Amino acid sequence: MRVPRWPWLIILLSCLNLAPGPAVPVLVETELPQVPLTATQVHQIDRLRQVPVLRAPSVLLADATTGQVLYSQDPTTPRPPASTTKIMTALLVLERNYLTETVRIPADLQVPGTTAGLVPGETLTIEELLYGLLLPSGNDAALALARYSGGTEEEFVAAMNTRAAELGLVHTHFVNPHGLDAPDHLSSAMDLLSLTRQALRHPTFARIVATATYSVRGHRWENRNRLLGQYPGADGIKTGTTAAAGECLIASATRQGQRLIAVVLGSQDRYAEATALLDYGFAHYTWQRLDLPPGDFRQVRGKDGPQLLLSLHDPQVIVLPRWQKSHLRSFLHLASVAQPGEPVGHLEFTLGGQRLCILPVYALSHEAAP
């Protein structure tokens, strides 16, 4: 069975950049060469086109590991981020302070909105305050952490903006560490995705945002993210609500080792819309590891005679619409002889006849052929 070309299909045209920072893969809408499609694949294509009906003005769905965007709607317009701001607060504290440092809560710590119920004069560790920041979304915890880590709230906010610039968050500007509405306190769905991916590099952050409840020193904090314990695989990340921002949610879920992140800004029903985005991603996309094929393809004749084992130094993972998986091909190009530790060729991947990427192949060590 054959069908006409589909100009709206998205394919990945370059290997993924997994280096630290906000860089994401380049996605290009293009035509695939005509390829034979099964009835199942045609059905998968039709379902892929049935994107969720979302009313939030700005949404985004992406793979957490690569940053590959699977669906977006106005992802770069700056909007009030509400308490998703606290992701940057947590990131900066984790980068600047030790978890075991202790903070004495000052008597003049007064801030409106949601609080962690901190008591003036009590002492908590940085780690404990991060729970108070990220679970009940404590504005008091945000201010306490900012004053301790930055010396003053103003100095900490300046550091937040410096870090945002370093991460390439071009649509982001912070005025406070908690996210209460303020003129020029803005971010975008794309920037918040990049910020979240950076924060998730810290195991402490990932653990805290996946925690449903936490008790310490007379406090019992519940995570305001209602997807935890309700949505299969939900493991974070942060809610936010103000009059100007509306309902905001950065949600994540992991299934079979693969994590998706949904960003919803300005919603009237953030949980339903985040659920729709995550459902769409898990239903219609598949994760494919770009690696050497098994068996004899992992060996090459060494210069001195014995066989050498082959390896990719950094195997990649890409995310594809499910119907495209059977059209992925790999071609191994090797030199006739090799020296251990040297590049000996390359592995080329194509999708529907178009080159996807080329990865260098290295010889590891002398091994006898099986």
Comparison of pLDDT for 303 and 31, the residue scoring more: 303
d(CA 105, CA 162): 26
Q: Is the pLDDT of residue 294 over 90?
A: no
Q: Is the pLDDT of residue 355 over 60?
A: yes
Read off the tokens for 293.
């094929």
| H or E element that contains 311 | strand 307-311
Arithmetic mean of pLDDT, 198-211: 98
> Does residue 242 contact residue 80 with C-beta atoms inside 8 Å?
yes
Q: Report residue 53's pLDDT band, with 50, 70 and 90 as the boundaries.
A: confident
> Does residue 91 contact residue 113 with C-beta atoms inside 8 Å?
no
HSE-CB for 68 with a 13 A CA cutoff:
27
> Does residue 351 contact residue 324 with C-beta atoms inside 8 Å?
yes
> Does residue 347 contact residue 332 with C-beta atoms inside 8 Å?
yes
Q: Is the pLDDT of residue 230 over 60?
A: yes
- Averaged pLDDT score across all residues of the chain: 84
Q: Is the pLDDT of residue 241 over 80?
A: yes
Arithmetic mean of pLDDT, 48-69: 88
Pairing of strands 343-351, 285-290: unpaired
Arithmetic mean of pLDDT, 306-331: 79
Q: Which position among 14, 58, 72, 83 bears the catalytic label?
A: 83
Q: Which range in 27-36, 47-56, 202-211, 324-333 is most confidently predicted, on average pLDDT?
A: 202-211
d(CA 188, CA 193): 9
Arithmetic mean of pLDDT, 211-215: 98
Q: Which position among 14, 58, 72, 137 bears the catalytic label?
A: 137
Helix, strand, or coil here: 367?
A: strand
**149 belongs to the catalytic site:** no
Residue 320: the pLDDT is: 87
**Lowest mean pLDDT across 54-58, 152-156, 285-289:** 285-289
CB atoms within 10 A of CB 114: 21
Helix, strand, or coil here: 299?
A: strand
Q: Is the pLDDT of residue 30 over 60?
A: no
- The beta-strand segments (E) located in 144-212 are none
Comparison of pLDDT for 302 and 174, the residue scoring more: 174
The proportion of the chain whose per-residue pLDDT surpasses 90, expressed as a percent, equals 62
d(CA 338, CA 355): 26
Q: Which position among 58, 72, 86, 311 bears the catalytic label?
A: 86
- What's the gap between Cα 98 and its chain centre? 24
Read off the tokens for 88.
């940057």
Residue 17: the pLDDT is: 33
Q: Report residue 323's pLDDT band, with 50, 70 and 90 as the boundaries.
A: confident
Q: Is the pLDDT of residue 86 over 90?
A: yes
Comparison of pLDDT for 298 and 100, the residue scoring more: 100
CA angle, 45 then 48 then 51, to 5°? 150
Residue 25: the pLDDT is: 31
d(CA 249, CA 329): 38
Q: Report residue 249's pLDDT band, with 50, 70 and 90 as the boundaries.
A: very high
Arithmetic mean of pLDDT, 46-56: 74
Distances (CA, A) of 302 to 28, 202, 246, 338, 348: 40, 41, 63, 5, 22
**83 belongs to the catalytic site:** yes
Domains in the chain and their CATH numbers?
82-286 (3.40.710.10), 292-367 (2.60.410.10)
**86 belongs to the catalytic site:** yes
d(CA 131, CA 217): 12
Residue 153: phi and psi, rounded to 5, are -60, -40
Q: Is the pLDDT of residue 305 over 90?
A: no
> Does residue 86 contact residue 142 with C-beta atoms inside 8 Å?
yes
- Torsion angle defined by CA atoms of residues 60, 351, 310 and 362, in that order, rounded to the nearest 10 degrees: -70
Give 107-157 pLDDT, tens digit per residue.
Answer: 999 899 999 999 999 999 999 999 999 999 999 999 999 999 999 999 999
Q: What is the pTM of this model?
A: 0.83
* Peptide bond preceding 237 in cis form (omega within 30 of 0): yes
Residue 69: the pLDDT is: 94
Read off the tokens for 226.
């209602």
Comparison of pLDDT for 9 and 311, the residue scoring more: 311
332-335 long-range CB contacts below 8 Å, 24 or more apart? Answer: 332/292, 332/293, 332/297, 332/361, 334/300, 334/310, 334/361, 335/300
